[in-house]
Amino acid sequence: MKPREVTLLERYAGSIVNALQSQKTVSLPEGITTERQFKAQVILPLIAKLAASHPTLKILAPPWNDPALCRRHADEVGDQSVHRDFGCPRCWSESKVPLINKSINFSVRLRCDAV
């Protein structure tokens, strides 16, 4: 029986785990006092750095009250302003998982845009 092929998302998840495990110490930026600040200033930059080697992966993260759109959604509405790499409110909303009239929210989600 042929072994199952490891998916792109599994390889990416493995690279995040390896990056976190290889850190002997974690130096946090000054002034982090909330979970939101920790995610925005530590976790998301790490995920974005690792995602750079997987161009078909899209990072979906909370917009944290910033209305700026990703390039795909901005192009749909003719918005020519600066586009964000992650944290698009429309992508975040579209990625919610329906569950008995409620939605499950995760801190960060990934979508593979490979064709």
Let me know: does 108 contact 47? Beta carbons within 8 Å.
yes
Is the pTM above the cut of 0.85? no
Let me know: does 83 contact 71? Beta carbons within 8 Å.
yes
Q: Which stretch of DSSP H or E encloses residue 89?
A: helix 89-94
> Could you tell me the residue ranges of all domains in the chain?
8-112
Calpha distance 55→58 (Å, rounded): 8
Backbone angles phi, psi at 36, to 5 degrees: -60, -45
**Interval 53-108: pLDDT, tens:** 777 777 788 888 888 888 888 888 887 776 677 788 888 888 776 665 555 555 66
Give helix 44-51 / helix 8-22 axis angle, nearest 10°.
130
Average pLDDT over residues 19-42: 76
* C-alpha distance from residue 77 to each of 2, 46, 69, 70, 73 (Å): 46, 30, 10, 11, 7
Question: What is the average pLDDT value for the chain, to the nearest integer?
Answer: 75
